[in-house]
Amino acid sequence: MNKNGNKQYLYCVISTAEPANFSVAGVNGDSERIHSVNVSDIAAIVGDSETDIYRLTRSTAMAHEAVIRAVMQNFTVLPFSFGIVANNENEVTDLLTHYYEEFRAQLQYLEDKTEYDLKALWRNKEQPFQEILAQRQDIARYRSSVACRPPAVTYQDRLEIGRMVQQALEAKKEEEGCRILERLRPLAASVQVNATFMDEMLLSAAFLLMKGAEQQFEKALQELDHIYEDKVRFRMVGPTPAFNFVRMPISLK
């Protein structure tokens, strides 16, 4: 194939000196040729593309990750974020050459490690608000005083109550999240705490586990599930591509 031909959609970087091909549908559909572009003992896994603009949807995001997961079955991977496209294979080669030492170091660090993503959510999303009102008498009294006055004259008061409750909720999330992390952090090689994106979510974190530590981690999570049985539910997904623990180039310039 002419190396100055098709655009190349980037999925991940792996450690191999041998050319590789993968039979998996990518973001460009079933007909996409998923293959390696090799430089020395590393390679980028790419897909032939006719465009450099991709819309992030559920289906395209799942296709992007499906390719990386297929590669993960046999290789340690450095995953690229969604939508990175090189103009041709020469540009991929230049990227691998420029970042060779960085890629090699990250691949060595991730060898024998896997990422697991954990979310902790309140079982009843009203429960933390009820606890805040029970624990914060200042907010409860303020709320009661506003409730008996006409809405037209309490607009600013209601905004202030909302601010106070939201501030208390964030503090409560942090407190409970820290208690959960205290039990799980010692079992991981690294932990990345991410932002929560809805009121009922109190913790979103990624754990980089050494292979073989999964069973111990799952046991600790089961113990937490028992402790928080009526209060918090846990969702763990993994192993997943280690998006939270690698820093890949986001520009080919």
φ, ψ at 157 (rounded to 5°) = -65, -40
Q: Which residue has the higher pLDDT, 233 or 52?
A: 233
Q: What is the pLDDT of residues 59-78, one digit of tens each?
A: 989 999 989 999 998 999 99
Q: What is the pLDDT of residues 25-39, one digit of tens each?
A: 888 887 788 999 999
Sequence-separated (6 or more) residues with CB below 8 Å from residue 121: 200, 201, 202, 232, 233, 234, 235
| pLDDT of 11 strictly over 90 | yes
Delimit the domains of the chain by residue range. Answer: 7-111, 114-243
At 43, is the pLDDT very low, low, confident or very high (cuts 50, 70, 90)?
Answer: very high
Q: Check: CB of residue 12 under 8 Å from CB of residue 78.
A: yes
At 3, is the pLDDT very low, low, confident or very high (cuts 50, 70, 90)?
Answer: very low
Cα radius of gyration (the chain): 24
- What is the per-residue pLDDT for 176? 82
Q: What is the mean pLDDT of residues 146-161?
A: 71
| pLDDT of 190 strictly over 80 | yes
Q: What is the mean pLDDT of residues 238-252?
A: 80
| pLDDT of 146 strictly over 80 | no
- What is the per-residue pLDDT for 2? 41
- The region of weakest confidence among 7-11, 151-155, 176-180 is 151-155
| pLDDT of 5 strictly over 70 | no
Rounded distance, CA 39 to CA 91, Å? 12
| pLDDT of 251 strictly over 70 | no
- In eight-state DSSP terms, residue 243 is G
pTM: predicted TM-score of the whole model, two decimal places? 0.74
Q: How far from the centroid of its chain's Cα atoms is residue 137's Cα?
A: 38
| pLDDT of 209 strictly over 90 | yes
As a whole-number percent, the residues of the chain with pLDDT over 70 amount to 92
Phi/psi region, residue 145 (left: phi>0; alpha: psi -120 to 50; beta: rest), is alpha
Rounded distance, CA 238 to CA 234, Å? 13
- What is the per-residue pLDDT for 12? 94
